[in-house]
Amino acid sequence: MSVIDPIADMLARIRNASAVGHNTVAMPHSTIKAAIAQILKEEGFIQDVEVASDQSRPMLRIWLKYTGERRTRKPVLTGLERVSKPGHRVYTGKGEIPWVLSGAGIAILSTPKGVLSGQQARRLGVGGEVLCYVW
C-alpha cells in the first residue's frame, strides 16, 4: 500500500508513538523526512535520529524525548500539525513566516536553500512551502 502524503504519515507516527510513551519510532527513509527529523533534533524536540539500513530498504529511526520520572514522564513534543498538504499547498514569503505559539514552537519550511526551521529561514531571508508546525 502506498502512502499519499509521506510527511503526514511521518508526523502521525511520531504523534502516536509519543502519545503512548514509546522510546523509538521507525518509518521508511526519505531525504525530506531525514531533514525534518534533523531539525526536530536540533531544536530539542527529539533525542536522536539515525538511518538504519539493516533491511533491504533503509529505515529512519527516531528516539523520542521525555521529561520527568518514569511514572510521571511527559513528551517534550506536545503537538505536530501538517500545514501544506498535497491538495492544498501553503507558501509564505520571507516577511510572513509564521510564529508558532508566540515563538514556543517552530514552523518547518521547504525553501530553495533546503528544509529549514522558521527561524533559520528568517535569518537567511528566504520563504517557501510551510510543511508543518511543531510545539
What would the pLDDT profile of 79-91 be if each residue is shown by its tens digit?
A: 999 999 999 999 9
Q: What DSSP line would sit under 33-91, residue for residue?
A: HHHHHHHHHHTTSEEEEEEE-SSSS-EEEEEE-EES-TTT-EES---EEE-SBTTB--E
Q: How far apart are CA 64 and CA 18, in angstroms?
A: 7
Give all domains of the chain, ordered by start, each with its CATH number.
6-134 (3.30.1490.10)
Residues 29-74 have pLDDT tens digits of 999 999 999 999 999 999 999 999 877 899 999 999 999 998 899 9
Mean pLDDT over 16-36 rounds to 96
pLDDT band at 3 (very low <50, low <70, confident <90, very high): confident
d(CA 90, CA 104) in angstroms, rounded, equals 21
Please tell me the pTM assigned to this model.
Answer: 0.94
How would residue 8 be classed by pLDDT, with cut points 50, 70 and 90? very high
Band (pLDDT 50/70/90 cuts) for residue 1 is low
